[in-house]
Amino acid sequence: MDVTYKRDESAGYLTNWAGRLFVRAIERRLAGGSAGPMPVFFALADGGTMSQTALARWASVEQPTMANTLNRMERDKLIERTPDPNDRRSALIGLTRLGRQRAGEALASAQDVNALALEGFKPAERDVLFALLHRIARNLDADAQESALPALPVSKPRTSRRS
Amino acid sequence: MDVTYKRDESAGYLTNWAGRLFVRAIERRLAGGSAGPMPVFFALADGGTMSQTALARWASVEQPTMANTLNRMERDKLIERTPDPNDRRSALIGLTRLGRQRAGEALASAQDVNALALEGFKPAERDVLFALLHRIARNLDADAQESALPALPVSKPRTSRRS
DNA sequence: TTGAATTGCATAGTGTGCTATCCATATCAT
DNA sequence: ATGATATGGATAGCACACTATGCAATTCAA
């Protein structure tokens, strides 16, 4: 049997590879910065604040991942946390002055890289790409939800199940 | 100015996100395994051997990344290294029996996940996706090459430059 | 043939992502 | 009001990606 597993014919491989190229292209332009804070920059660039959990959801990363990113950003004086007056567990996260400056630069770099990556694309091709990626994300998200079905929490019999 | 940085309209964000979803979908199916070894599995599944550098190039990752992956795979008894008789710096890497078994399972999972991700895609749409991702990769690769221009190695003037 | 450049690999250090847990606070039901 | 549950966050531990270096072996040029 012919076992030429052509990576170039695997949607997963291709997508992942392109994703890595995007990150590196951005980071080359950030001069000392990295790509992790970008979603935070984008979420807070307008001067607003959000909780850690909200940021994690916004960026589609898990909470510990966002916690790490925010810790690095705090270390680098890009964000500050102020206690949430309505929930003592939570803090509201906002950009510092430096953070807003970096956010501006990061946004510009992101636009540059997006434009560069899509160089030669017709507007229709761009739209098709986005639509196809969204469909992939929807399909894979559905699979994740399905796998996450919590083996029927049998802890205690209940008269009714939420769902 | 309206600063709604819609992540869903950034090619980089979307591609990266989809890439992460692919990796997680695969890893859910690998039961204890992770996705890093996949390119190695695919490259060596036919029973052949390759050097570390060749594997890194094949997988489009940097050499230290491949070195780490191979170390983990060796630790897990998935590969073995035999000295290259023609080059004492190098070793030839091949799959163990266990590695070949895992490679088979990994290939099956990859096919499942690819099929799932592209569920509902017409064949033409699949082809378009691949073509667009390839174009993005080409564009970003070109940018990487350009950035890597090594500040003109002035060490010694030469009569001619290779290029 | 010998000195310079190249190549194959290893190591150190960091960032970004994940899962699995745990604590503290809030919220909900009884 | 109290006990169970849910939620926000922290921490530990790992995988995998990168850059920057350094060493040893090979290759190339003079």
Is the pLDDT at A127 greater than 70? The verdict is yes
pLDDT tens digits, one per residue of A51-94: 999 999 999 999 999 999 999 999 999 999 999 999 999 999 99
Q: Which nucleotide is nearest to B72 (CA to C1')?
A: D15
Q: How far is CA B161 from the centre of its chain?
A: 32
Mean local confidence (pLDDT), B63-90? 96
**B129 to A126: CB separation less than 8 angstroms, yes or no:** no
pLDDT tens digits, one per residue of A1-51: 434 456 677 999 999 999 999 999 999 999 888 999 999 999 999 999 999
Q: When comparing pLDDT for A100 and A163, which is higher?
A: A100
Supply the pLDDT for residue B148.
72
Q: Which nucleotide is nearest to A90 (CA to C1')?
A: D8
B99 closest CA partner among B109, B107, B89 = B107
Range of A147-156, B118-127, B139-148 with top mean pLDDT: B118-127
Of B24, B110, B129, the CB nearest to A132: B129
pLDDT tier, A160 (very low <50, low <70, confident <90, very high otherwise):
very low
Taking C1' of C23 and every protein CA, the nearest residue is: A89
DSSP letter at B135 equals H
Residue B141 CB closer than 7 angstroms to strand D? no
Supply the pLDDT for residue A96.
96
Mean local confidence (pLDDT), B48-52? 96
Which chain B residues are within 8 Å of A126, Cβ to Cβ? 11
Q: What is the mean pLDDT of chain B?
A: 87
**What gap in Å lies between CA A120 and CA A55, rounded to an integer?**
34
Q: Which residues of A4-43 are buried (b: 16+ CB within 10 A; e: fewer)?
A: ebebeebbbbbbbbbbbbbbbbbbebbeebebbbbbbbbb
Cβ count within 10 A of residue A161: 7
